[in-house]
Amino acid sequence: MGTVVDDAASVEFRAFFERHYAELARLAHLLTGEADAADDLAADALLALWHRWDRVRAADRPAAYARGVVANLARTRIRGAVRERRRIALFWSRGEERTDGPDVAGVVDVQEALRRLPFRKRACVVLRHAFDLSEKDTALALGVSVGTVKSQTSKGMAELQRLLGPRHGPRRVRAAMAAGGGESGGRDR
């Protein structure tokens, strides 16, 4: 059972919701350009406002505060979409590389060794050496720091050399990946 204060807050929030929901959804639509996301963003903003309703209703301009929450949520959504598009572009913008007369046994060996690497090491090695991405582009694609890319690539290459022997280096990985269509398969860890 709620208290009189809780009931008054609920009634006040409901009135605020009914008065401002359409405006907040319209704002979200104009900021993101996505009609289907506008309702979700407005609802998420109002949920956040409800959790802080005591502070919001004490504000000088609660509607302005609500518009700020919608703007921040829209900015976060747009940034996420931009990051996702960049990641996709990094993977799909590369032309397919082929080598003449690949060493099929070497390709099989390298791909099998890659499958044995944990996912992050494998992804770093493949993006750096098979797709020839920079450390920065690899970090962006995987959503990790450049330092993580450096350490995971180094550890991954050391593990590949241990698995394949010292004669297999980055050039061998590039050639094997180009010949194998860029697929490393295997389990994700």
The contacts of residue 2 (CB under 8 Å, 6+ apart) are: 10
User: Is the confidence at residue 139, as pLDDT, over 80?
Assistant: yes
Quote the pLDDT of residue 189: 34
Mean predicted confidence (pLDDT) in 116-133: 83
pLDDT band at 188; cut points 50, 70, 90: very low
pLDDT band at 168; cut points 50, 70, 90: low
Quote the pLDDT of residue 21: 93
- For the chain, the distance separating the N- and C-terminal CA atoms, rounded to the nearest angstrom, is 48
> Distance between CA atoms of 50 and 72, rounded to whole angstroms?
16
Quote the pLDDT of residue 185: 41
Mean predicted confidence (pLDDT) in 140-157: 90
Tokens 């409901």 map to which residue?
A: 14
Q: Is residue 97 left, alpha or beta, with left meaning phi > 0 and alpha meaning psi from -120 to 50?
A: beta
Which of 3-17, 46-60, 137-151 bottoms out in mean pLDDT, i.e. has the lowest?
3-17
Mean predicted confidence (pLDDT) in 105-120: 74
pLDDT band at 179; cut points 50, 70, 90: low
pLDDT per position as a tens digit, 40-67:
999 999 999 999 888 888 888 888 888 8
Q: Are 136 and 146 in contact (CB under 8 A)?
A: yes
User: Is the confidence at residue 141, as pLDDT, over 50?
Assistant: yes
> Distance between CA atoms of 59 and 61, rounded to whole angstroms?
6
Model pTM above 0.75: no
pLDDT per position as a tens digit, 12-28:
899 999 999 998 999 88
